[in-house]
Amino acid sequence: MTEQFVDWINALPGWVREMGIVILSATPDEVSCEWEVTEKHHQGYGIVHGGVHCGVIETLASVGAAVVARARAQRVVGLENNTSFIRAVRSGKLHAVARPVTRGRTTQVWEAWIRDDKERLVAQGRVRLLCVDENQALG
C-alpha cells in the first residue's frame, strides 16, 4: 500500500511537485524525500528560503501521519510546525527523513531532519498534527 501511496503523492499537483520534491518512501515509521536545490528555492540572498525547509518538514510529517491515520479511517491536519535552520545552502541535492515521536489516537507528533549531500544537518523540525474522522469536514 505505501508504494502506491508514494506514487499517488508524487503525482499530485501542488507545492511538492512545483518544488521538485520526490517522496522516496512512506511507512508508519519513516518518510523520506530528496530534491535538487535550484533558484526557485532561494530567497533574496541566494540561499534556500526557510519556508522551503518548513514546507518539506511539514510535508514529510503529514505524509507519515496520513499513512498511520488512513488505517484508522482518519485524516490529519497540521497544528504546529517548529523548524530550526542550521546551515545555509545555495545548491546541491538535499534529502530529508521524518520519524514519529508519537502516533496517538487524536494527535501525532513527527520529527524531521534535512541534510545535504555531505550528511551535514541543514534544518530540523517537529510537527504536531490533529487526527480527524475521514468524514469530518475540514475548514
Full set of structural domains in the chain with CATH: 2-133 (3.10.129.10)
Report the distance separating Cα 81 and Cα 51, nearest Å.
11
Give pLDDT tens digits for 55-76.
999 999 999 999 999 999 999 9
**Which of the following is catalytic: 3, 18, 58, 119?**
58
Q: Which three cell numbers stand for residue 20?
A: 521538485
pLDDT tens digits, one per residue of 9-20: 999 999 999 999
pTM here is 0.95
Cell representation of residue 17: 511537485
Instruction: For residue 18, indicate whether it is catalytic.
Output: no
